[in-house]
Every structure is written in structure tokens, then in C-alpha cells.
Amino acid sequence: MKNIKRLFPIFDARPGLVYLDSAATSLTPAPIIDAVAGYYRELSANVGRGLYATAEETTVRFEEVREHTARFLSVRADEIVFTRSTTEGINLLAYILEDHIKAGDNIVVTALEHHSNFLPWKRLAKRCGAELRIVPFEKDRSIHPDTARSFVDSRTKIFAFSAISNVFGTANPVADLVRIVKDANPTILTIVDAAQAAGHTPIDVRSWDCDFLAFSGHKMFGPTGVGVLYGKSTLLAALPPYQVGGGMVLDSMADGPTYMDAPHCFEAGTPDIAAVVGLGTTIDFLDHIGIDSIHEYEAGLATLAVSALKKAFGDSIHILGLNDRRKSGIVSFTLDGIHPHDIAQILGDRDICIRAGEHCAAPLHRALSLPATARVSFSVYNTEADIEKLIEGLKEVRALFKS
């Protein structure tokens, strides 16, 4: 890990940068930047259309990334839909599942959810006259399977939840949650927001047995503008297209009309081909380092940070999440007497980048009666020296407010 930082060109341009906001967007290493630029330099053709050499090679490379992504998740290639982001993947589902929801049904989400896995279901419930049920988190800041099951009944159609909280950093027992709600109602569709999990912890979708899963490339060292939606092949085959247009139709003049099979019927128009090519290199990058090593390193830094923050600030700092041994690289906190936005602004002036606010997780913050929190999130390019600079910066913040 000591040599990985040199692969990220931003540190050449900004050598003093302390980047602690990877849960929002991770930095991008040179091999992935080169892969994106290489598409424009060497190919720059569309997919699934041209019969000339560069177009055919582009299509082959695009579909190879689909196969590579499927292996990354331990699923089939025809179960991988390319999207722009986790947000688009979940909104896609909320749109095409509308006929699945009737008045009097209910949709279950959790109080841990990012707005991207909360607002689409809230809007769908309102549109269909369904009830939106919110499962509370436990004292350990996770969702307990038995609690989730108590919110499920015969009219529950969807259970959507995150694999890792983007605020607490706690990991939910995905396989157990899926199993227990399916035991209560086998017809439930289970949807996992894996935005904070993909690229940071091992994912085996087959063992999780969820029906759908979504994640983004930009949170795992990849380009912006590309995401992945996984869906079980039997479910994708039975669902209507999300958008219609070029690249996903077989016969536009048929009464139907006749669309291509999944996953291509969900990919209307020209995709962000360069970003998909970059995603393929991203998965290579992750494989080379090893997901287990990444997980251990990021969680280890977060654990060290919690210890250092408590030692430096004692009872005046409040860490969200009760377990000092972190399950991810995410640590959120408040500091007595100082608004998180002020903390982030002052640290930012010192080139220490953290996040402040509700982190697009209003249900969680409202449950804790907190208007905002500060969040640091670690990645492979961070070191213990970054923790020391964070502590120094926070001491300066506190001294400024005391004065």
C-alpha cells in the first residue's frame, strides 16, 4: 500500500492534498485515466452499430467489460446492465417496477438509506398508493434481520437496503436480511445499494441471493458517469425497457415493437463508452491489489482514526457508530460547539478534504436529531500521516473557535 499513492496523478499536481472524502468520490489512478483516454485516442467509435474495424473492436471491448464485471460479482454477463450511477440504476428499477405495485401494497426501506435508495421508493409508493415502511437501525447502527422481518407482510413488494451505511460505515448482514425477508414473503424483490461496498469489500451476489444490486464506478477508483445494475436474469427478462430508442430495438415498426433481450434492452442510446472501458480497467486494478487487502487497509485506518480522535478530543468528540473496530473506511463525528460545515470549511482551506452535512442521508440524521455530521472516509492512497494532519487541523479548528 505504501507505493500505491504514486499511481494517483492528483498528488503530483497537489502534493499537500489530504483527501478524506472517498465515500463521496474516490480518486482515479493513472491506469484508469489512461484507459479512458485510450478509447478516444485509439477507437472513438460507437458500440453495436458500425461494421468497420474500430466500431467492431469497440463493441468487443465493451462486452468484455460486461463479462469482466459479471465475474467481479460472481454472476452472468446477461445480468449486468450498464447505467450512469447507482442513482440511475435504482431509479430505473423504481420506474420499471411500477406495474408491480398496487394500492394497499407496501415498500420497505431502512433508516440508513442514502437518498438514492430512499426517494425513488418514496415517490413510487406515493404514485401507486402504497405504504412506505422504514426499518429503524439498532444500537450497533446496523439493520437486524428480525427487525426487518417484522416490517414485512403478505403485501410487501420490495425491500431495499444498503450493504454499508455511508454515514455509520457499518456493514449490514446482506445474506441474512435477504433470507429472512424471503422466508416471510417469498415474492418480495430484494434490492441492495452496494455503492459503499463495491470495490471495498468482497461481494458474492450469488451467496447474497439478492434480486437486484446497484453500484457506481466513481466510488471504487473508476470514472464518473458509469454504474452497474445487476438483476437476476429471470427478472430482467420479464421487465419492460426503461428508455426506448437506438441500440435496444430489433423491429421498431412491429406492433410491439420488438426489443432486444436483456441486458441490451435497458441500454438505449449511446452509453458512456469511455467510462465503461475505464470500469474494466478499474476491476483489473482492484483485482491486482486484492479486495480483501483493500478492505483490511481502509478499515484499519478508520479504526486508528477513531482511536486518535478520542485520544485528542476526549468527551468533546462524538463518533457515530458504537464499535471501535470499523467495518469500513468511513468515520462520521460531531465536535462539541462547532458546526460540521465550519469544520469542513476550515479544514478545506488547509487542503484537508472531508464531507459535512446530512450526506444525502436525512432519515438517519433525523432519527439521531442531528442537523449535520462531519465525515472522513479512507482509501488505499491514505496513510497514518493523513490521520495526524486531520488531528492537527481539527485542533486548529477548535483553537480558532475558542479564541
Which residues carry out catalysis?
360
Enumerate residues 6+ apart whose C-beta is below 8 A from 42. 54
Q: How far apart are CA 47 and CA 392, in angstroms?
A: 50
AA identity, residue 347: L
145 and 176 Cβ atoms separated by less than 8 Å: yes
Enumerate residues 6+ apart whose C-beta is below 8 A from 312. 391, 394, 395
Counting every residue written for the chain, the total comes to 403
